[in-house]
Amino acid sequence: MPSATIPTAAKFQFDRTRHAAPQVFEHMRDQIISMALPPGTVLSRPELADQYGISQTPVRDALIRLGEEGLVDIFPQHATVVSPIDVALVTQAHFLRRSVELEIVRTLALQADPVLVERLRATIARQRLMLELQDFDEFNVNDQAFHRELYEAARVPDLWTLVRRQSGHLDRLRRLHLPIPGKATAVLRDHDAIVDAIAAGDPARAESALRAHLSGTLANIDEIRGRFTDYFR
């Protein structure tokens, strides 16, 4: 299999106030999560360095971090390959995210902050526009933003970083599910239900809406796996 060409790598603008390695890691991670680099893609360190216009050292460091998250399989002296989706890791990430976010939406419903509600509705509006444009990548970006806003509003932003680090396999599964007819519409419906419950100050309803929202992809895992057999371990 040929080595990967990283989409937009040649146009990637480095922030010169930050080290290169974490920026390469973040960019490559986004490409893996978005499925622009699907499972099985071979990642050549020299070719990646050339595409980014940097030395191999930050690329090596970025690949090591991706390996620590289980997003690439590193075969020393041989190759680095984007890993297949691991259903066991999907299930664990789902358990973690559900446990944390149930408490978050309960906390936020007890506060019923109208400023937060307005901000969340604005994010949903952007998602709705992206669905109309059939831009699933930007839809997904705003989906992540919606959930990050919940963590920040509950004053646990570090937990978002933790959950995100553990959710690479789950996020890839969700990205595969997103274009399947009806999924994106269901996401919008669920987000509306979560925000409505928070606005109403109803923690039980917020928890119920969140639980239903997060169960959608796992409930369809057999269908997704059947469509993308080669992408799974």
* Distance from C-alpha of 83 to C-alpha of 71, rounded to nearest angstrom: 5
pLDDT tens for 30-53 read 999 999 999 999 999 999 999 999
Residue 204 has what pLDDT? 98
Residues of the chain with CATH 1.20.120.530: 87-231
CATH of 87-231, one of 3.30.360.10, 1.20.120.530, 3.40.190.10, 3.40.630.90: 1.20.120.530
Average pLDDT across the chain, whole number: 93
pTM to 2 decimals? 0.88
* Distance from C-alpha of 200 to C-alpha of 194, rounded to nearest angstrom: 10
Residue 114 has what pLDDT? 95
* Distance from C-alpha of 208 to C-alpha of 36, rounded to nearest angstrom: 33
- State the amino acid at position 132 in one-letter form: E
Which residue(s) pair with 3 in the sheet? Answer: 42
Task: Report which of 36, 159, 198 is spatially closest to residue 190, judged by C-alpha positions.
Answer: 198
pLDDT tens for 55-82 read 999 999 999 999 999 999 998 877 899 9
Q: What is the CATH number of domain 9-82?
A: 1.10.10.10
The kind and range of the H/E element at 43 are strand 42-43
- Sequence-separated (6 or more) residues with CB below 8 Å from residue 65: 21, 22, 25
Residues of the chain with CATH 1.10.10.10: 9-82
